[in-house]
Amino acid sequence: MIRTYRYSLSLLLILILGLIVRLYQFTTPLADWHSFRQADTVSVAREFVKHGLNLLVPKYHDLSNIQSRLDNPEGYRMVEFPLISGLVAVIYKSLPILELHQWYRLVSIIFSLGVIVLLYQLGSKFDNQQVGLIAAALFAF
């Protein structure tokens, strides 16, 4: 019982530290070269906010042919299914207390923390709780 309590506290510490690491530069605008992927996905969410939610026809602000080598005058974004972009658009319309890219980062952080818990549970189930903590810590940091 005490051992399980200690592992639970260790997992909680990993989650708190993982949250702190993920909140680094949370409010920084998407302006550098490495943020292009974030800018693309936020752009899809922004289009959902402006023109309505249509998950089957996602659009974004890039009209070039760089992604597919085909002309794209309508700005279609056909990469991955935009489920997260749709979720972020709905959250942003309901609670516009953060900027859109900040909501996107927050949703990503929440899913990431959920993966940490899942990795802990998988490691604990297939080996032991110590392996679960190691897996969780490796992903968290």
The string of pLDDT tens digits covering residues 21-73 is: 999 988 887 766 667 777 788 888 998 999 999 888 888 877 777 777 777 76
CA distance to 1, 7, 25, 49, 127, per residue, from 130 (Å): 15, 8, 31, 44, 8
Q: What percent of the chain has pLDDT over 90?
A: 55
What single letter denotes the amino acid at residue 84? I
79 — phi, psi (to 5°)?
-115, -80
Q: Which residue has the tokens 């309508």?
A: 74
CB 48 within 8 Å of CB 60: no
Q: Which two tokens stand for residue 3?
A: 């051992």
Q: Which residue has the tokens 């972009």?
A: 85
Q: What is the dihedral of CA 27, 31, 32, 37, to 10 degrees?
A: 90
Please, which pLDDT band fits residue 6 given cuts at 50, 70 and 90? confident
pTM for the model: 0.82
